[in-house]
Amino acid sequence: MTGPPSTSALDLAADMLGPLASPNASLAPFCTYRVGGPARLLVEARSVGDLDLVHRAVTASGCQTLVVGKGSNLLVADAGFPGIAVHLGPGFEQIDIDHGRSLVTAGGAALLPVVARRTAAAGLTGFEWAVGVPGSIGGAVRMNAGGHGSDMAAALTRVSVFDLVEGGPVDWTVDQLGLGYRRSNIGPGHIVVSADLALEPGDTERSNAEIAEIVRWRRSHQPGGQNAGSVFANPPGDSAGRLIDSLGLKGFRIGTAEVSTKHANFVQADPDGSADDIHALIREVRLRVAAASGIELSVENRLIGFETEEGTQ
């Protein structure tokens, strides 16, 4: 990340965006941690036309951009984000089902649990796993989200992507996405407008039973409250939660952030807590695991605005 934009650049972007942009808007309501600082400008895009206006403002001003989905994997520093944050609005929540081809087209802002339940009700199978992931289709494509033996890569056939720097939208194939374990080629300035999912004919009663079991399992094994799911990716052949738990770190706290007492790979934020406390806790847990086991855990959470040894994220 480069340095903050100049006041004149931000003023230019604000003038071009007009009422579409809210100045100094808190990003906490858009993150499941419910903490974090403001964006200098926050845009809720409700159409591709709105995204095109953001593209033109970014091109003219050179301001940085931050794509904010449902924030279920995002942590923004208390200092905030010094550029333009973009959030997809209701215009991108559509879910269209082609029963004849067992094909689903879901907007980038469509919630995964909603898509899971809608497809099950339509007699399609293959997306039940997503009921337990509190994110959006766009975020799920970006990190190839998954669980319960499946992931996005198992169903994706096409993705429409808007590039805030180059413009768009442009269709990407699965090969172009480069999907891997919790990764893709979707970059920081890319917005997933929609995605096509190829599912299979199924049995609604059986799918609903599977969904109910996934919900039960999640409630039994994972905490609720203010968190962003698994903090660290599992290292090959092991579990991040097991490694953290083996060091007795459940309940370990720094300020307003605590390692969950229910699942060691979750970090809980206190109400009105601090994003910087969460970041400090993540860093300390990672250091302790590395010191004890030699394993460098990879952080799954997307960290924005924090100082690291390499610079600012």
Encode the chain (313 residues) as per-residue pLDDT tens digits: 445 666 789 999 999 999 999 999 999 999 999 999 999 999 999 999 999 999 999 999 999 999 998 888 899 999 999 999 999 999 999 999 999 999 999 999 999 999 999 999 999 999 999 998 888 999 999 989 888 888 999 999 999 999 999 998 999 999 999 988 888 999 889 999 999 999 999 999 999 999 999 999 988 888 888 999 899 999 999 999 999 999 999 999 999 999 999 999 999 999 999 999 999 999 999 999 999 999 999 998 899 999 753 334 4
Query: How many C-beta atoms surround the C-beta of residue 93 within 10 A?
Result: 17
Question: Distance from CA of residue 48 to its chain's centroid?
Answer: 20
Domains of the chain: 7-88 (3.30.43.10), 94-220 (3.30.465.10), 225-312 (3.90.78.10)
Both tokens assigned to 171: 């269709």
Q: Tens digit of pLDDT for each residue in 272-284?
A: 999 999 999 999 9
* CA angle (188 as vertex; 128, 82 as ends), nearest 5: 125
Report how far residue 134's alpha carbon sits from residue 129's, in angstroms, rounded to the nearest whole number: 11
Query: What pLDDT, on a 0 to 100 scale, did the predictor assign at position 181?
Result: 80
Query: How many C-beta atoms surround the C-beta of residue 48 within 10 A?
Result: 16
Mapping DSSP to helix (H, G, I), strand (E, B) and coil, where does residue 159 land?
Answer: strand
Report the relative pairing of strands 38-45 and 81-88 from DSSP bridges: parallel
Cα 272 to Cα 43, 97, 264, 282, 302, distances in angstroms: 23, 40, 22, 18, 20
Q: Tens digit of pLDDT for each residue in 73-128?
A: 899 999 999 999 999 999 999 999 999 999 999 999 999 999 999 999 999 999 99
| Polymer length of the chain | 313
Nearest of 114, 130, 121 to residue 203 by alpha carbon: 121
Catalytic residues: 182, 230, 300
Report how far residue 20's alpha carbon sits from residue 46's, in angstroms, rounded to the nearest whole number: 10
H/E stretch holding 36: none
